[in-house]
Amino acid sequence: MKRKLLYTIGVFAALFTAGEAAGQTLIRQGNVAVEVNGLSQAGDSLYVDMHLTVLGKNVASDESADYIPVLVAGRDTLALPAVSLRGKNNYKAYQRKLALMSPREREAARYDAPFRVLQDDKRGMRSLDYRVAVAYQPWMDAARIDLKVVGCNCGKSRETNVSMAPSETGGGRKVVIVHGGNLITPHFAYLRPGEEAVKQRTVSRVAYLDFPVGSARLDPAYGNNRDELFRVSSIFSALSGDSYVHPDRITITGYASPEGSRAINRSLSERRAGALAGYLTGRYAFPAAIYDVRFGGEDWAELLSLVENSRMKGKESVEAIIRYVPDSIDEVRNISRKKVLMDLDGGDPWRYMLRKFFPALRRTVVKVDYTVASFDLPQARQQALERPQNLSLAEFFAVAQSYPAGSDEYNETFETAVRMFPDDRIANINAAVAALSRRDYVSAARYLDRIDVVPGESVYDNAMGLLLVLRDRDAAKARPYFEKAARAGLEAARQNLDALDAVTGNKPAPPAAENAAKGRRKR
């Protein structure tokens, strides 16, 4: 049985003029306004639909501010994903940090990432649609929305809560929320991963070591070396303290920025990479024979990425030169990529990159390839808690199956597996099914969206059908997915299809082949 409740939203008294004229529901803090378009509850999710507008400049170049919508009812609160405004330099640092992340680090960061990151700009207006879904809880029936602003100023945080107070012109706007249970009792299916014959893993770190000009002597106390060496040493300490891993190769690659001659850059980068190798061999008992020191080159690819993500003047010309002018010297025309860049616009772009981008190119990448032992179930359960990166997907699956289906440990095991294998199809399907089982439809949709659909993948089809019927209550769209999975022989899909038929009273017509067979029997 469905019931209807009224969800009351107050309105912050200081509205944009246009908003007042149109009767819109807005929250405003400075030059940032949030318009609440609607809230709706269906099944076990609360859907939030808002529109955010930013005018002019709000934060200093090196600072940021997070605007966080918060549902509040008495002592119950739920913070929704933030919209982060970043000043010019802060935004560049954020983009650079993302560019330097490995795919696995970037995927892990998504779990705590803001809803959207915007560069703050004094020019014009920026706006975005803000739509999220969260797990519905009964206390939300009496909730209001606050806007919390968390700013950064020299490492110190400040917080300001801006609540939507009752409007001076006629009270709060009311939005109808429809409550309703699931259309069907869902039946879930998971994919069993294949065994991994040899568990080979790779871990890497990027070090920005400081050296005196022209020197390859590594001084841990020089510049920022202490912190950079700690970052690199942390992976060596973890591997050396793990009796289940065996390092196979340690590759240390030195990269250079393009100023100066290539020969000098190669020699200096190799010697500096070798200095780091010497530092590590003196502290960790890994065989010297597995170290491989090499020159990565003048890193034009990374420079191109930095230029593309910048707002430097004349960036289009710089990008074209890096892409299309050969790096090597053309003896006939006496030009090279480097020379053309240095001559561009009187050398201004070159000097800008020399100051802003080149220091980031002078780096050393340390990569360790290693092999991990196989585990029995008790060992695997312990590794899942302490060193989940050591497990294979098959071992994760065995650990999950050792817990009661639907338990916190069961679901968390599938969540951990997809964090360790963010690009794996089976890991994402199983994480989506686990999310569906705990009614986390936002996460389920995110995992399913990552998957390249394979025809005939019945577990995926069953999961898509469940998402549509549980989240959207859309039996018509869910049915074809259940039918495909049931035809492939998936029992859970057949049960879901039968349950859907029982609810809708809409049995599908028999397949054409079955109709033909019945016709033959009648004749």
Task: Please say if the pLDDT value at position 145 is more than 80.
Answer: no
Task: Please say if the pLDDT value at position 187 is more than 60.
Answer: yes
**Closest Cα to residue 186, out of 436, 448, 503?**
436
Please spell the DSSP secondary structure of 283-333, one letter per residue. Answer: TS-S-GGGEEEEEEEE-HHHHHHHHHTS--TTHHHHHHHHHHS-SS-BTTT
Check residue 172 and give its pLDDT: 32
Q: Which of 6-15, 258-267, 485-494 is most confident? A: 485-494
CB of 39 closer than 8 Å to CB of 178: no
Task: Read off the pLDDT of each residue in 32-52 and give the average, rounded to a whole number.
Answer: 73
Q: Give kind and range of the element (H or E) at residue 435.
A: helix 425-437
CB of 58 closer than 8 Å to CB of 90: no
Check residue 453 and give its pLDDT: 76
Task: Please say if the pLDDT value at position 161 is more than 70.
Answer: no
Centre a 10 Å sphere on the Cβ of residue 213 and count the other Cβ atoms it contains. 5
Residue 252 pLDDT level (bands cut at 50, 70, 90): very high
Centre a 10 Å sphere on the Cβ of residue 498 and count the other Cβ atoms it contains. 15
Q: Which residue has the higher pLDDT, 157 or 131?
A: 131
**Closest Cα to residue 10, out of 165, 139, 198, 127?**
165
Check residue 30 and give its pLDDT: 65
Which two structure tokens, joined as six digits, stand for 130? 């803000």
Q: Which residue has the higher pLDDT, 38 or 300?
A: 300
Mean pLDDT of the chain, nearest integer: 80
Check residue 4 and give its pLDDT: 29
Centre a 10 Å sphere on the Cβ of residue 234 and count the other Cβ atoms it contains. 12
* Residue bearing tokens 């803090």: 29
Task: Please say if the pLDDT value at position 522 is more than 60.
Answer: no
What is the per-residue pLDDT across 427-484, written as a single tens digit (0 to 9) for each? 999 999 999 988 888 889 999 999 887 777 899 999 999 999 988 888 889 999 999 9
What is the per-residue pLDDT across 480-518, written as a single tens digit (0 to 9) for each? 999 999 999 999 999 999 988 887 766 554 443 344 444
How many Å separate Cα 137 from the centre of its chain? 26
∠ CA 133-137-142, nearest 5°, is: 100
Check residue 124 and give its pLDDT: 59
Q: Where are the alpha helices (DSSP H) in 38-131?
A: 88-100, 103-109
Helix axes 458-470, 475-487, angle to 10 degrees: 160
For the entire predicted model, the pTM comes to 0.57
What is the per-residue pLDDT across 319-350, written as a single tens digit (0 to 9) for each? 999 999 988 766 566 678 999 999 999 999 99
Centre a 10 Å sphere on the Cβ of residue 398 and count the other Cβ atoms it contains. 20
Residues listed for the chain: 523
